[in-house]
Each structure stands twice: as C-alpha cells, then as structure tokens.
Structure 1
C-alpha cells in the first residue's frame, strides 16, 4: 500500500469513528424527545419563502392523508399554482379559502381590507376548532395583524386557549408581531440576501405564485 493510500485509509477510519460518535450522541438526544403536540408555527422575515414553506407543510399533510386547510388573508385575488393544485386534486383532504382581496395598496380601502381580514379570521377559527383538521395554514395573516385589521391579543388568546391540542397552525407573512412569536412553538425568519425584483425581474409563475 502506498503512503497516499495509507493516509486515505487513516482519514476514512477517523471519519467513521467521528460519525459513529456523533450518531451515538444524536441517538441519545432523540431518545429523550418523545412528546407530541400541535404546534403554532410562524414563518416571517423579509426574505422569500414564507408562504412557500407553509404550502410545503400542507403538501406533507396531504401526502400523509391528514386533513388540512388554508386561509389566504391577502393573496386571495391571485390565481396561484398552489391554489390550483390543492383545489383541483386534493379538495377531499385540503379546504382552501381565499379570503383576501389583494395587498392594501391595491384595494386602497381600509374598511374593505378590515372586513376581508375579519371574515378570514372567522373562517380560520372555525377550521382550527374542527378536531378532524390536523393543520391550518393562515397565509399572510401577519400582514393583517401588522396593519391592525385583526386584534393581536385576540389571535394569541385563541391560539393558546382554544386550539385543539394536536392541531398545527402555521402563520406566515413578514413583520410578525412580537406577541405572536413569543406564543409560538416554532419561529423561522427568512433573511433576504438577494432578490431578482431589485434587478427589474417581475414575479413569475412557479417561483412567486
């Protein structure tokens, strides 16, 4: 065996020993994680991917045969790919409620925006209370909360006192309220590093909607 081969063999053995030690430590940690509960999950931040991640979780539910639901608070007026997919192919497992009428700068009518958000929240509470539904995605609700179309204290109180024990609720949108993040079990912040919109590229099918 050449010196180079011997060195490679020693490196492989060291790597195997290191990974075995790491696996043993990981297995020990995982053995202590036996709890299960319905989670309040927040996806926020200025980066792209908040709604996309939420819909990815909804598709996981569908793949597991778990009843789920979506309430869209802002993008309801958009013809999105996820809406087509879920309503066209998985309507038996996933309810889809497009309650929003567009971004506030598009409607230019605060009273109308508030009414749409309140209607969306009413539907959301109905879906969350249903013990058969395992996950509810509240898409862009953080925007409605930011503009005070909904009462943050009411939303947090409902999620902490009325949500069924095993129901997951996912809330998306930038600028999530501090009270919501404090009450959540899982918070992920999407960081913006680079975006084609700044280079003059418009929103495109399959990427943004």
Structure 2
C-alpha cells in the first residue's frame, strides 16, 4: 500500500507538471504546418501492415477517403480486407494486386506483371486528390525482389503526389533511397515471435 502524498509533495508535483506543460505548449505552438507525408513502416518485426491499416481506420473515422493496394498478400483472406470491403467500401478502396509470395507462384513473369499492375493502380489512386491516404502494403518486398524500381516510385511521388495526400509504404528491407526521402520512418524490431516456436500464423494476429 503506497504512502499518502503530503501537501508539500502534491504542490511540488503540480509545479513540475505546470512547467512541463508550459514547455510542451511552447513547442507545439511552433508546429503549425501540414503536408501530405511519405510514411515508411519497415524492419524485421511484426506490425508493419497492422500499423498501416490502423492509419487507414483513423482516416475512415475522420470520414477521409482512402485506399489500399496490396502487392504481395493478394491471395490471403485477411480480417482487414473483410472489414474494409464489407463495411467501409464507400470510404476506402481496396485492391489486391499481388498473387501471393513468389515461392507460391514460382512464375517471375506473373509476379512482374502483378507488381506492374499494382503500381499502375497505385498511381491512379495517389493522383486522385480525393484520397487523403493511400496504403501501399508490402511494396517494400516488391522492391527487394526486383519487381518494382524504388527510384521510379520516388520520382512519381516527388512529381505527382498531391500536396496533402499521405502515402504509406510497408514491408521489411525498405530501400535506403526510400528511407532517405520519407517524412516518417518506423522500424519494427523483432524481439520474440511465436513462429520460431512452431506456432503458425493465426486469424486476428497475423491476418
């Protein structure tokens, strides 16, 4: 059981918090700009796509039109696909352009064609300034596999992305050029994962 806080301790705490709040308010007063961000979620840990879809749900909560293009997991029946297509199709366009992982298709020409089609769809969605956010899910894997050219993507974003559109790019091994160009980069670390202990991917956790 914790000891009771004395009036002197309570007063010191209040004074300390007041100083912190004043400093925070001064800092926030300088943060007045807004812009469409290039956001990267990468790293070996779990949660990259999950974080991207969390941002999509935030957009929906604010009645902001948005879109998703999935570059790799096109054959998966995921929970995020179900909820977005069944309940929020009026606010979020959802396009599954991948045909699964490359070891499943075993056909590089098909993989290249699927990635090209996904990027063509992504360009159309990004150009449409009604979409406030476009999630390019697992596009970093397409870069790593040589299915898409990250420089081409970055040039498009620099030249044609509307000023207030956010673009989120997920997947491990994000190329250095993308990390350098991005406004916000988060690297998910891998500390523990049940897959290493023989536990398969499960609904509600992985998909």
Please indicate the TM-score interval, normalised by the length of the shorter structure.
Answer: over 0.9
1:151 — aligned with what?
149
CA deviation vs aligned residue, 1:150-192 (integer Å, no higher than 9, x gap): 1111001011111000000000000000000111000000000
Q: Is the 8 A contact 1:140 1:171 kept in 2?
A: yes
Q: Which moved more, 1:29-38 or 1:13-22?
A: 13-22
Which residue, out of 158, 182, 185, partners 1:184? 182
**Shift, 1:17, TM fit:** 1.4
2:23 — aligned with what?
25
**Shift, 1:11, TM fit:** 2.5
2:65 — aligned with what?
67
**Shift, 1:107, TM fit:** 1.2
1:172 — aligned with what?
170
Unpaired stretches in structure 1, ≥5 consecutive residues: none
Question: Residues of 1 paired with 2:105 and 2:205: CA distance?
Answer: 24
Question: Residues of 2 paired with 1:10 and 1:100: CA distance?
Answer: 63
What TM-score do the two structures reach when normalised by structure 1? 0.96
In the TM superposition, 1:27-106 aligns within 5 A as 27-106=25-104
**Shift, 1:16, TM fit:** 1.5
What TM-score do the two structures reach when normalised by structure 2? 0.97
Q: Is the 8 A contact 1:76 1:102 kept in 2?
A: yes
Q: Is the 8 A contact 1:68 1:93 kept in 2?
A: yes
Question: Residues of 2 paired with 1:20 and 1:54: CA distance?
Answer: 35
Give the superposed CA RMSD. Answer: 1.0
Q: Is the 8 A contact 1:142 1:177 kept in 2?
A: yes
> In the alignment, is residue 131 of structure 1 matched against residue 161 of structure 2?
no
